[in-house]
Amino acid sequence: MSYRIPESLIGEANAKIAAAHDEDYEALGLRLKRSGVDIDAVAAKVAAFALAVPTWGVGTGGTRFARFPGPGEPRGIFDKLEDCATIHQLTRATPTCSPHFPWDKVSDYRELAERAKSLGVGFDAVNSNTFQDQPDQKLSYKFGSLSHSEKAVRDQAVAHNLECIEIGEKLASKALTVWIADGSNFPGQSNLNRVFDWYLESLAVITARLPASWRVFLEHKLCEPAFYSTVISDWGTSLTAAEALGPKAYCLVDLGHHAPNVNIEQIVARLIRAGRLAGFHFNDSKYGDDDLDTGSIDPFRLYRVFNELVDASARGAAGFDPAYMLDQSHNVTDPIESLMASAMEVQRAYAQALLIDRAALEAAQDANDVMLAHRIFKAGFVTDVSPILAEARRRGGGAIDPIPVYRTSKYRSHKAKERPAVARSSSGII
């Protein structure tokens, strides 16, 4: 029998800090009331906010140089599901996980779906992988996959994506996320137009095979592993592709996949306007696609992104239904702790953005009162909404303060005994 954190442990931990939490929540509630904000309404919205955990995120990541495995790492998808369920158990923020194929392949998907259900988690978008070769693979992706110069390679990559859709249907998933590593390292290596044409040809076949209720998420990335040109390099390319592919194709924004200092929130605003925002891969970065924990470097950027999302929701933007997911690499922390902390940071940015007085902001903007507009905009960010997040968790049956409960449970030590180390675990960064 594999270890799960007992509900009683959460209850006991919550009881110890409940009085202090109640005081903090009440004090913040009084403060927000003066600004006309109902704290319970904000807490209810935060409680209803859900984001997915990537199955590859619960394993220790690594860099181009090395990977330092931690104790009790998941050995396969069933172990990963347990870890994902534990994150949700304590945070009540991550009811779904996003599987990745072929890393998460099993022989019986009904068993996998049932196991997930019994653990209290579901499945979000399925992710295809044509950025590396598998041992039993006929043709290599060394020079590309969906945009490869040889049709046979493109067909193989298309077939893999179709298989991912088939698997996803068995898991009640509703979307396929496609990120390709295709690109070039040398000027002249490939024709910048022809590779895009080949990509569109491949994606058209995949999109045509999507079930009625499904969407395909196109993930762009500026560079890496290709360092001269990437086929789907930016949001402009992504939007061009989505519009060519029709109403099922949407543009996914991974926060780390842009040039330094790019105004990501403006990209988000434009994609919402175009009705093509798929959703997000949340992470943080200082220099490039660092895949650091969400909110650890630039929480203000995350807040600015959420301002656009709350704004779109408030005005009922057409077709606005983003999917939220974390996509980080955990190299020096316990992945479960990092994912819990990051889920809470995403909720924090959301709660803060909900505090913005939108009518007052618009009035200040129309009057060109720059300082007032900026102060109104920033008011949410400078508010410590921690009591709201804690209250949302508590009401959902989670922990007021998840990480101490996780540590007290010794979950990782239990898993270290249950999961003897294996040679290699399938985790990575995309």
Binding of residue 281 to Mn ion (CB under 5 A): yes
Query: Please, what is the minimum distance in Å from the beta carbon of residue 215 to Mn ion?
Result: 16
Q: Which tokens belong to 54? A: 């990537």
Under the binding rule (CB under 5 A), the answer on residue 393 touching Mn ion is no
Shortest Å, Cβ 46 to Mn ion? 24
For residue 232, is it left (φ>0), alpha (ψ between -120 and 50) or beta? beta
- Return the closest-CA partner of residue 154 out of 190, 195, 118: 195
Q: What are phi and psi of 169, to 5 degrees?
A: -60, -40
Residue 181 or 390: which CB sits closer to Mn ion?
Answer: 181
User: Contact region for Mn ion (CB under 5 A) — 38-46, 273-281, 354-362, 411-419?
Assistant: 273-281
Q: How many CB atoms lie within 10 A of CB 35?
A: 11
Minimum CB separation of residue 91 from Mn ion in Å reads 21
Please pick, from the candidates 124, 234, 254, 289, the single residue that binds Mn ion as defined by CB under 5 A.
Answer: 254
What are the E-state strand segments in 170-240?
Answer: 175-178, 183-184, 215-219, 229-230
By 3-state DSSP, what share of the chain in percent is helix, strand and coil, each rounded to 5? 50, 10, 40
C-beta neighbour count of 174 within 10 angstroms: 17
Q: Which is nearer to Mn ion, 83 or 254 (CB)?
A: 254
Compute how many other C-beta atoms are within 10 angstroms of the C-beta atom of residue 366.
9
Helix (H) or strand (E) holding 280: strand 277-282
Which candidate, 349, 250, 355, places its Cα nearest to that of 298?
349
CB 189 to Mn ion: min, Å: 24
Q: Work out how close the CB of 231 gets to Mn ion at its nearest, in angstroms, rounded to a whole number.
A: 16
- DSSP labels, 54-70: EGGGGS----SS---PP
Contacts to Mn ion from residues 103-132, by CB under 5 A: none
Closer by beta carbon to Mn ion, 90 or else 278: 278
CB 254 → Mn ion: shortest distance, Å? 4
Closer by beta carbon to Mn ion, 89 or else 98: 98
Nearer to Mn ion, 84 or 430 (CB): 430
Q: Which stretch binds Mn ion (CB under 5 A): 142-150, 246-254, 286-294, 362-370?
A: 246-254
391 binds Mn ion (CB under 5 A): no
Which contacts qualify for 35-40: CB closer than 8 Å, 24 or more apart? 35/355, 35/357, 35/379, 36/357, 37/355, 39/388
Residue 221 or 394: the one with the smaller Cβ distance to Mn ion is: 221
Interacting residues with Mn ion between 401 and 430 (CB under 5 A): 430
Residue nearest to Mn ion (CB): 281
Residue found under tokens 């006309």: 36
Among 14-22, 275-283, 388-396, 412-420, which window interacts with Mn ion (CB under 5 A)? 275-283
Q: Which residue has the tokens 């859709």?
A: 165
Q: Does residue 36 sit in helix, strand or coil?
A: coil
Q: Is 100 in the site for Mn ion (CB under 5 A)?
A: no
Shortest distance, position 125 Cβ to Mn ion, whole Å: 11
Please state, in angstroms and rounded to a whole number, the distance separating the CA atoms of residues 396 and 400.
10
Taking the C-alpha atoms of 327, 278, 397 and 34 in order, what is their torsion angle to the nearest 10 degrees?
A: 110
Smallest distance, Mn ion to C-beta of residue 220, A: 10
Interaction between residue 327 and Mn ion (CB under 5 A): yes
| Nearer CB in complex with Mn ion: 402/428 | 428
Task: Choose between 119 and 430: whose C-beta lies nearer to Mn ion.
Answer: 430
Helix (H) or strand (E) holding 304: helix 299-314
Mark the segment that binds Mn ion (CB under 5 A) among 116-124, 232-240, 267-275, 276-284. Answer: 276-284
Q: How far is the CB of 238 from Mn ion (least distance, A)?
A: 13
Burial tier of 307 (Cβ tally within 10 Å: 0-12, 13-18, 19+): buried
Q: Residues in contact with Mn ion, total (CB under 5 A)? A: 4
Tell me how far, at minimum, the Cβ of 61 lies from Mn ion, in Å. Answer: 12
Q: Which residues are near Mn ion by CB under 5 A? A: 254, 281, 327, 430
